[in-house]
Amino acid sequence: MIDCSGIIESNGGNGGNGTTYCGGGGGASGGSVYLEAVSVDLSNIISSSGGIGGMPYYSNPAGDGGDGRIRLNYSTFANTGEVSPDPFSGQFYNIIHTQLLNTNDLSGPYEISALIVDNEGDPITEAKLFYRINGGAFNEVDMTESKSGQGFSANIPGQSINTSIDYYLTATDGTDNYSLPLAAPAELFAFEITAYPPYGVTQTDNHDGTVDINWFEPVDLANFVDYTIYRSEQDGFTPGTFNLLVENIADTSYVDATVVDFHTYYYVVSANYDYTGTLVESFSGQTAGLLVDNVSQTTVIGYAFLEDRNNHANIKVSFVPESPSAVADSIYTNALGYFETHDLFPGVYSIRFSKPGFQTPIIMEGMSIVEDTDLGESTLFDMGTEVSGDVSGTWDGFYSVSGDITVPDGDSLIIEAGTVVRFLGYYNFFVYGYLACNGAEGDTVLITSGPVNQIQAQNQWKGIDFYNSSDDNSYLHYTTVEYAYDGIYLEWASPAIENCLVQQHSRYGAYLHQSEASMSFSLIQYCNDRGINLNYASPLIDNCQVMNCTNHGVTLNNYSNPTFLSCSIGHCNYGIVAYSNSDPTVDGCTISNITNDGIYFSTIWNRGLVTNNTLINNGNGIYLYYQSAPEIRGNLFIQNNYGIEYYYECDALVTENNFINNSYGIVFNTSSHYCETEISHNIFAYNVNDGIHKNNHSSVADNPTIVYNTIFGNGGDGIDIRQSGTEIITNNNITDNGGWGINVSVAIETFENNNIYSNAAGAISDLGYMPSETWNFVSFNPNNNADCDIYRNINEDPMYVLSDTLDFNLQFGSKCIDGGSEGVSDPDGSVSDIGKFPFEHGNPHQVVVTGFGNQTVSLEWDEVANDSLVEYNIYFKISGAEDDYSLFGSTADTAIDVTGLTNNVLYDFTVTGSYPNYESGYAPKVSERPGMPQLAYDPGSYSLIIPAAEDSIVEDFTLTNNGSRNLNVTFPRGNSESGNAYFDGSGDYVAYGHHDHLDGMDALTLECWLYRENNGHFEFMGKNHRNYQFYIESNNYVYFYKGYGNPQSNSYQSWNTSYYINANQWYHLAMTWEGSTMKLYVNGEHVWTASDAQSGPIPNFYQYSFDLGRRGGENSYYFKGKMAEARVWN
């Protein structure tokens, strides 16, 4: 135990003061203090402070010394004093022991001693040593206590050479148990019985092709025999036969004369011992690497590889002389691609790597080689198949393009995974036919440049150009297109681009004109102008990234209507730029690190939808420049300069967004005007300056409508308006801002139902610009009993939940609840609340009627998201009655049948939520009538005759409804005595038109009463022979057509039933089809069967009219006679 009632100091001395014209001396650094005990009781001071700098002759004193270091190791620490600086508290060990080191003592014993103390000072009753030999079982030995009472020791007997010993210690006072190491036996001490190695090995390059090696002899030479030297060019090598340099060395030095110029060597020296026949080798540490420099030789080394090969042998490396002293030379690579020469004359060379079938790169020109040189690694590109002109078929492997290539109209080119296409010059890849790039994940198609100097750069070929005749089923999958003018150029073409990398192009990554291409999961980057440029184009761009483009990430021109889904655009001058009536949809995207504007709109008019995006760390999130009114909804603007900036005639809808930690939330710039915009249901929080800033110097006003926003915690004003306009500011929560709630210097037209509270500079900067009597609290709001001015503005704590920094939901009891405009309802049907987030009263937001029946109406409603809900109460009353609602019943479900009602009476229904301590308000009502619908028609049957002399007749019928579910239909009776329709055979027909339910069926029945007057081929009922058609052939037999197949085949079948129909006689005809079976029934009797019908469904793509009296949908095969009760069944 240490009882520190005195002072322990190790402070640095103070610096001396300066004399005339001299500076003062710096303070000395504090020293170190180290205390270790079971218990440390400090009641005074432990200090290791730096000394104070001395005063100079003039003004500034010298620097103070740095603090020292204090370490306290203890089990318990009672501190009523002071420790300065703060101490480092280390681990206190109850067993203190110094680990044994390796030894060459074979006789032993090896004493293990330790100091052992108990935390409470109790005596140690037992201490043990556990040891094992060469990883075997542990031996247990009792440790003997010394006379001092805290020292303990035990012995390990002597062992033979090359023995490894592990051990650990334990102790106890009968209650507390201790071990060392602390994690024993998982952690152990160890030492070895081993011979001593040589040490201090050094090597010296003599620069003549030899190296001197020197070392010190081992500290104990007992049983020593000689030395062995090992050498390797591999750092960290293991000495062995493979790298043995020399053995049987008696001296402590050696000259290595076998080194090679410009190679790096590592050495290990071992001492060899003989322990009564047991030979032991003890190794020194490895030396640092030594790069040999033989000044009489000029060595050149390097590697050259063949692309996509494993064997790189026989690449010729030619040294072409470029100076008078240089001499031509050449060597060849081995299978690993390595080459080395020591015979090169100093001079200037150009170096060529060549092998048939591979490109000879011009990459090492005019190199001065006057000393040893490592040429590094070079790769020879596989030239593969050289192509130019028209191309088609399948490519697999390597292709070198030596001129423009074209996929002709009507031809196809398929490029398989792993294929490499290199353009050797400024050539085009034209596509007028079908192109398929079949790359796969991890095995892409590469289309790139192949400059002879292997230095790839933008604009080394022209790119892939798709034109109008190209097949829109073309695609690029897992394809890299790089180093062109435009990467992919689409002119009236729409291929699919998926999982592609498009990069390093001098103009555009992709250019789309009149294209509806799809781009998905692709990366476009490092283009010198624009990543994507659209002109009259409407592509779908899904999960793509556009990064690091010099000018625009994406540009939209001339009615381009793209859709961007879940894309990322970043590190460009502009993100998305939309001009000229374009109509982008941008949803779920991230636009970040844009120098100027994340999204820039100009002259898109009432177009554009920007939803659910994150715009972060841009110059501006969105710039509404000129005549643009997009819908901007549900976005996060964070860490931008301006979240949104307005300029000219931009009437955007800005709603449900979060503006967080920008310089400003929304800014109408100093030149903005004619902006009739709505700013609603947004959060403006923690912006550095103002939430909304309108400071226009123009004489023409902006007229924003600012409603239902939460404006909180901004560094400047909540809203700053210094330019005239017709401002409508209602239902906003403006609280806790660093400036004014409203900083105003122009007249405000409408200011109602706002809450302004706890703003640092005050609520409103100048009431003279507000409507008369604003902020004069002489009234109260009956909806929530809040004190307010006559415009129902309040000054109340909004009582935000603030479960996190953006949780601006209102707590129960907030005066903002039901404090908004009465003419606007919250989703739960209550009066609107102030701010963005409506308070949830706990009733369903919507009740719907799902059915009705005899004295019954069925209801459903949305589930309430409130864990404390007990049940729902269901109420009803007769619609329009002054009575209160009556309780029908309660349920825990979200549906119920309300019974016991009076049929054909209109009722109102509503639902509330029941909670342990209260019942919510009513949900918005829904109205419905119970009862069973009934249809009465008079007469009970009805036929229509079209006289032969008339093309058509018009007769009215009457519908009557008395307000109940019953409907009465009265038909005219002028022709009701006739039970059939008459057709004159020369143009009369009844057309029912095309209806989807008359096509596509899997079974069919046609029936009617027929009275024929004409002979010859006539067709009287159906939807054309390509679908189904009843007819009488010229032989007066009954026939039937049924179509099948697809539009290209126009397939149909025809059957002769061999049943004869007499003229001037009524027949009831019925034809059925099911599966492969056709049947004809005449006057109720089965008269004919066929079993060869195609079983596929009736075609559904012709859309012929269902006609009576002629072939369906055609002006042919008219019927003369009478027809009645025509029906079609499925």
Q: Give the residue among 590, 520, 587, 517 at the shortest CA–CA distance from 553.
A: 590
What is the phi/psi pair of residue 511, to 5°? Answer: -120, 125
95-193 and 981-1129 agree in CATH topology: no
pLDDT-derived band at 888, boundaries 50, 70, 90 = very high
- Residue 78 tokens read as 């009672």
What is the phi/psi pair of residue 684, to 5°? Answer: -120, 105
Q: What is the pLDDT of residue 1102?
A: 79
- Residue 1032 tokens read as 């009488």
pLDDT-derived band at 154, boundaries 50, 70, 90 = very high
Least confident segment among 1-10, 603-612, 752-761: 1-10
Q: What is the pLDDT of residue 424?
A: 96
Largest interatomic CA distance in the chain: 145
Q: What is the pLDDT of residue 848?
A: 95
Q: Is the pLDDT at 623 greater than 60, yes or no?
A: yes
Q: What is the pLDDT of residue 1000?
A: 87
- Residue 955 tokens read as 């007769």
Q: What is the three-state SS of 532-546?
A: EEEECCCCEEECCEE
Q: What is the pLDDT of residue 976?
A: 43
Encode pLDDT of 555-571 as tens digits. 999 999 999 999 999 99
Collapsed DSSP state (helix, strand, coil) of residue 916: coil
What is the spatial distance between Cα 798 and Cα 756, in angstroms, rounded to a whole number?
A: 9
Q: What is the pLDDT of residue 722?
A: 83
- Residue 638 tokens read as 């964070």
Q: What is the pLDDT of residue 669?
A: 83
- Compute the average pLDDT of residues 169-179: 93
As a whole-number percent, the residues of the chain with pLDDT over 90 amount to 73
pLDDT-derived band at 58, boundaries 50, 70, 90 = low
Q: What are the residue ranges spanned by the domains of the chain?
A: 2-90, 95-193, 199-291, 301-380, 674-841, 847-928, 934-970, 981-1129
For residue 1120, what are the contacts with CB-CB under 8 A and spacing of at least 6?
983, 984, 985, 986, 1012, 1013, 1014, 1018
Q: Is the pLDDT at 941 greater than 60, yes or no?
A: no
Q: What is the pLDDT of residue 695?
A: 77
- Compute the average pLDDT of residues 75-81: 74
Q: What is the pLDDT of residue 697?
A: 61
Q: Which CATH class is domain 847-928?
A: mainly beta
Between 676 and 954, where is the model more confident? 676
Q: Is the pLDDT at 945 greater than 90, yes or no?
A: no
Encode pLDDT of 660-707 as tens digits. 999 999 998 867 777 888 999 999 999 999 999 987 665 667 788 999
Q: What is the pLDDT of residue 50?
A: 81
Beta strands per DSSP E along 323-427: 329-332, 338-341, 347-354, 364-369, 373-380, 385-390, 393-395, 398-407, 412-416, 420-423
Q: What is the pLDDT of residue 975?
A: 45
Encode pLDDT of 401-420 as tens digits. 999 999 999 999 999 999 99
pLDDT-derived band at 71, boundaries 50, 70, 90 = confident
CATH topology for the 95-193 domain:
Immunoglobulin-like (2.60.40)
CATH superfamily of 199-291: Immunoglobulins (2.60.40.10)
For 467, other C-beta atoms within 10 Å of its C-beta total: 16
Encode pLDDT of 991-1028 as tens digits. 988 888 888 889 999 999 999 998 889 999 999 988 99
Q: What is the pLDDT of residue 171?
A: 94
- Name residue 79's amino acid: N
Q: What is the pLDDT of residue 75?
A: 66
- Compute the average pLDDT of residues 869-892: 94
CATH code for the structural domain at 981-1129? 2.60.120.200
Q: What is the pLDDT of residue 613?
A: 97
Q: What is the three-state SS of 948-966?
A: CCCCCCCCCCEEECCCCCE
What is the spatial distance between Cα 550 and Cα 537, in angstroms, rounded to a whole number?
A: 22
The runs of H, that is alpha helices, within 491-548 are none
- Name residue 129's amino acid: L
- Compute the average pLDDT of residues 229-243: 97
Q: Is the pLDDT at 969 greater than 70, yes or no?
A: no
Residue 742, beta-bridge partner list: 719, 764
CATH superfamily of 301-380: Immunoglobulins (2.60.40.10)
Q: Is the pLDDT at 960 greater than 70, yes or no?
A: no
Beta strands per DSSP E along 381-522: 385-390, 393-395, 398-407, 412-416, 420-423, 428-431, 434-438, 445-449, 463-466, 475-477, 479-482, 488-491, 496-498, 501-503, 508-513, 518-520
- Residue 818 tokens read as 């039901």
- Compute the average pLDDT of residues 462-490: 97
Q: Give the residue among 815, 640, 839 at the shortest CA–CA distance from 735.
A: 815
Encode pLDDT of 385-396 as tens digits. 999 999 999 999
Q: Give the residue among 390, 392, 344 at the shortest CA–CA distance from 370.
A: 344
Q: Give the residue among 657, 639, 533, 526 at the shortest CA–CA distance from 591.
A: 639
Q: Is the pLDDT at 599 greater than 90, yes or no?
A: yes
- Residue 703 tokens read as 């007229």
Encode pLDDT of 246-299 as tens digits. 999 999 999 999 999 999 999 999 999 999 888 999 999 999 999 999 999 999
Between 495 and 363, where is the model more confident? 495
As a whole-number percent, the residues of the chain with pLDDT over 70 amount to 93
Average pLDDT, the chain: 91
